[in-house]
Amino acid sequence: MIWGKLMITTLLFTILPSILIMVYIIFSDKFREPILNIIYAFVLGFIIIIPAGYLNYYFIFSHENPEKLVFIAGFTEEIIKFVTLFFFLKGMDAFNEHMDSIVYATLLSLGFATLENFDYVFFLNQDISSLAIAILRAFTAIPLHASCGIIMGYFFGLYVFKKSKINLILSLVIPIVVHSFYNSISGTIYLYIFILMVIIYAISLHRKVARSQKLKIFEQENY
């Protein structure tokens, strides 16, 4: 009985943070995205963890002292997310405003983070309890991936709708820098300060676009 409750609690901390963030992001979009596109983006996040895993093994875990190379995961994972997002949104009819790129980039990142979380909590962890890992990652790794998705989507949207190539570069470079630095300070007290700063920054970008949406709706209703 106790083991069953522990397993359920661990499972909730493993998947619930992603679900909560996903629901918030989806419903913050005043112009809802097609449900099939939403599912597709989330599942794509599951799928791209396979090539990311191979690249991380090759560049990090196949070497001696892999803990010194974990920052490289910021490059491999964010580049794969970026390329996937680029081709996923290319030519999509439903991709017609700035918030859309934030929604799809975040869903892609959360799909990736959810499956990665299962891996860390139930398979890779050996020294610490699964519940402890699940709780820790609920407040660190999951918000990191979601925040990187928001940041990537924000600047990618600026690139598409403002025709600014510098924003295409920023949509890749900023998530890489954030993710790589996060990995490099993992296990230190600075991690929690940094992740809080990243979350605040991502929320500010999301709210900026959300305000633009509300203004657009107001103008449509009153003019």
Task: Tell me the C-alpha distance between 175 and 185, whole Å.
Answer: 16
- Can you count the helices (H) and strands (E) in the chain? 9, 0
Task: Tell me the C-alpha distance between 208 and 67, whole Å.
Answer: 37
Place 59 in a pLDDT band, splitting at 50, 70 and 90: confident
DSSP letter for 33, please.
Answer: P
3-state DSSP helix/strand/coil percent for the chain, to nearest 5? 85, 0, 15
Place 91 in a pLDDT band, splitting at 50, 70 and 90: confident
pLDDT at 25 over 90: yes
66 or 133, which is more confident: 133
What is the mean predicted confidence (pLDDT) over 33-56? 95
Contact in structure between 67 and 184 (CB atoms under 8 Å): no
What is the mean predicted confidence (pLDDT) over 126-137? 85
pTM, two decimals, is 0.94
| Helix axes 98-118 and 141-162, enclosed angle (nearest 10) | 150
Residue 123: what pLDDT? 80
50 or 223, which is more confident: 50
CA distances from 142 to 19, 118, 221 (A): 10, 12, 37
Across 44-53, 156-165, 167-176, 213-222, least confident range: 213-222
